Structure 1
Amino acid sequence: MAESMKLLFMTIDAALHEYPPTGLIILFDMKGVGLMHLTRIKLGCIKAFFEYCQDCLPVKLKTIHVLNSVYFLDKILAIIKPFIKKELYELIHFHPPNLNMEKFYRKYISKECLPSDYGGDLPNTRILHEMNTKRLGELKPFFDAEETFRTTYYNKLNSTSCT
C-alpha cells in the first residue's frame, strides 16, 4: 500500500512538473476489491494519504469519484472516515457498478478526459500506465534529488547532537 501511494504522489508530481493543472480529479475504481483487502489496510498509510490530499496537495482537489463501489463500502468508510475532514468527504462521489456512463460523462468527467476502458477517448489504462512509467523513469534524477533533499532535511531536523 505504501508503495502504491508513493507511486501516486510521484505521478501527481510528474503531472505538475510537466503541465500544471488548475485542479485535480481523482478517479478510483474499486473493481476487483474484496473483503480481504480490508485486512491489508494500513492506518498509517491511510492517514498519510488523506493528510496529503487535505493539507499538502500542490493543486486544488476538485473531486474524488469512486467507481464500482462495493457492498462493504460502509466498512471501508468506518476505517477511513476518522482521517477525512468534512470538506474533503463532501468532494467524494460513490458510483455503483451499473453506472450509466453517458450520464457520468455529462455530469462529471467528459469522455475526452477518460481512458478507453471507461468509454473515453484516451488510450486504455495499460497504455497510459506504460506512458506514466516511462515518464517517471525520465524524471528519476528529479525524484532522487528530491528524496536526498528530504532525507537530509529530516535528518538535520531530528538530529539530537549539539554543535
Structure 2
Amino acid sequence: MNSLKIKMTTRYECTLSPELLEKAVTELHEPRDNAERLKAIDELKNSYNAEKYGPLIRDDDGFILRFLRAKKFNQKKALTVLQNYHSVKKEFHQIFDKVHNPAVLEPLINSHVILTFQGQAKDGAAIMWYRPGMLDREIDIYDLMAYSVLTIEKMLESEACQINGLASVEDLEHFSISMLFKISPIALARMNSIWQDAMPLRFKAVHILNEGKVYDIILALFKPFLKQKIIDRIHTHGSKINSLHEFVDQAVLPPELGGTGPDGESTGKWWIEKLTEDWTKDTAL
C-alpha cells in the first residue's frame, strides 16, 4: 500500500458539545483526547491504497473522521468503506457524473421529492424525508440516486449527523409500483452497494408510511441486497401517522405528517438553500 504523506494543514480541533462528545466516546469509541483522535486519522490516511483507488478526493481531517465514526473507529472497517467510496466514484459514472454536475438534477431537486427536516429524531438522528409518489413516472433512476447522494453528502457535513446517524421517513402514498419494474437488478445492486458499503453513514432507522401491499413487492426486490441489520431497522406504520410520533416529535414533523413544524413547501425552500449554499456561482439551480 502507498503511504500518503500527511500534509501540514490545519488539523481537526474538537468543538463538539459535551453531550455529543460523550456519545462519540461511549458509542463510537472515539478518543476523548484530540491527539489520539488525530493519530487515528493519520493511521487511516496512511493505510489508504492510493495506487489502487486513486488519490484521496479529500484528505482533510474532517473528511477522514467521517469514515472512522461510521465504523466506530475500527480501522480495518473504516478503510474498507473509504476505499469503496473512491471505487464507486470511479465505477458508477451514470450516478457520479451527475453528482459532480448537480445543475442537471434541477427539476428533481425542485420537485421536493427528497428533503431533510430542520430538527432531529428523538434519538438525535438527522431525518431525510422521501416521497416517491411525487416522482415523474419517466424518472431516470440514476438521477434519483445522484440526488440522494448529494443529500447524504450534505447531511454528513454535520458532525451531529456523523455521530447520531440518519433516519429516513418514506411515504409511499401515490407511489406507482410500475416504476419499480423499470429498475434493473444491476441498478438495484449498485444503489445498495453505495449505501451499505461505500458511504460513511450510520443508518439508524427507516420509517415507511402508507405502504399497503406495495411494500411486500418492494421488500422482495430489495431484500436480496440488504444487510439484515438494515432490515431489522425498518418500521412500517401504514396510515397510522401517530405511531411515527413515538420516534420523532411533532414539532419537528410537517403538517403533512401530523406535525406542527414547517410544511413541505417551506421545508423544500430551506433545504434547497442549504444544499446549494456552497455551490459555485456558475452552478445553475
- Following superposition, which runs of at least 4 residues in structure 1 exceed 6 angstroms of deviation? none
| Partners of 1:33 and 1:70 within 8 A in 2 | no
2:157 partner SS: helix
Residue of structure 1 equivalent to 2:96:
none
Indicate the RMSD between aligned Cα atoms, in angstroms: 2.1
Question: Equivalences for 1:72-151 in 2 at 5 Å?
Answer: 72-96=214-238, 98-99=239-240, 101-106=241-246, 108-141=247-280
The alpha carbon displacement at 1:121 in A equals 3.0
**SS in structure 2 of the partner of residue 111 of structure 1:** coil
Identical counterparts, % of pairs: 24
Q: Does 2:145 correspond to 1:5? A: yes
How many Å apart are 1:19 and its aligned residue? 5.4
Post-superposition shift, 1:23? 1.2
Aligned-pair distance for 1:26? Answer: 0.9
Relative to structure 1, is the Cα distance of residues 122 and 47 closer, same or farther in structure 2, using a 3 angstrom cutoff?
farther
- 1:16 corresponding residue in structure 2: 156
Q: Given that residues 53 and 61 in structure 1 are in contact (C-alpha distance below 8 angstroms), is that contact kept between their aligned partners in structure 2?
A: no
Give 1 or 2: higher helix fraction. Answer: 1
Q: CA deviation at 1:8?
A: 1.5
1:38 matched residue in structure 2 = 180
Instruction: Name which structure has the greater RCO, CA cutoff 8 Å, separation 6+.
Output: 1
Q: What amino acid is the match of 1:6?
A: A
Residues 43/115 of structure 1: CA separation in 2 closer, same or farther (3 Å cut):
farther
Residue type of the alignment partner of 2:152: I
State TM-score, norm by structure 2.
0.44
How many matched pairs? 139
What stretches of structure 2 of length at least 5 have no aligned partner? 1-140
Q: 1:19 and 1:115 mapped to 2: Cα distance?
A: 24
Q: Aligned in 2, Cα 1:19/1:122: closer, same or farther, shift over 3 Å?
A: farther
User: Higher Cα Rg: structure 1 or 2?
Assistant: 2
Give the Cα–Cα distance (whole angstroms) in 2 for the partners of residues 54 and 64 of structure 1.
14
| Inter-partner Cα distance in structure 2 for 1:134 and 1:91 | 31
TM-score (norm. length: structure 1): 0.73
Hey, what's the Cα distance between the residues in 1 that align with 2:171 and 2:279?
A: 28
Amino acid at match of 1:12: I
Quote how far apart the aligned CAs of 1:115 are.
Answer: 2.0
Instruction: Look up the SS of the partner of 2:251 in the other structure.
Output: helix
- Residue in 2 that maps onto 1:50: 192
Cα distance in structure 1, aligned partners of 2:199 and 2:265: 26
Name the CA distance, whole Å, in 1 between partners of 2:190 and 2:270: 27
